[in-house]
Amino acid sequence: AETDFIFTPHLLPTNRGILSTIYVRLTARRRLSEVVALFQEFYARAPLVRVYGAGSLPEVQGVARTQYFDVGFALDEANGRLIVISALDNLGKGAAGQAAQNMNLMFGFPEATALA
Per-domain boundaries in the chain = 5-90
Q: Where are the beta strands (DSSP E) in 3-63?
A: 5-10, 18-25, 49-51
Mean pLDDT score of the chain: 90
Question: What is the per-residue pLDDT across 98-111, written as a single tens digit (0 to 9) for each?
Answer: 899 999 999 999 99
More confident residue, 34 or 3: 34
CA–CA dist 46, 69 (Å, integer): 10
Confidence of residue 91 (pLDDT cuts 50, 70, 90): confident
Class of domain 5-90: alpha beta
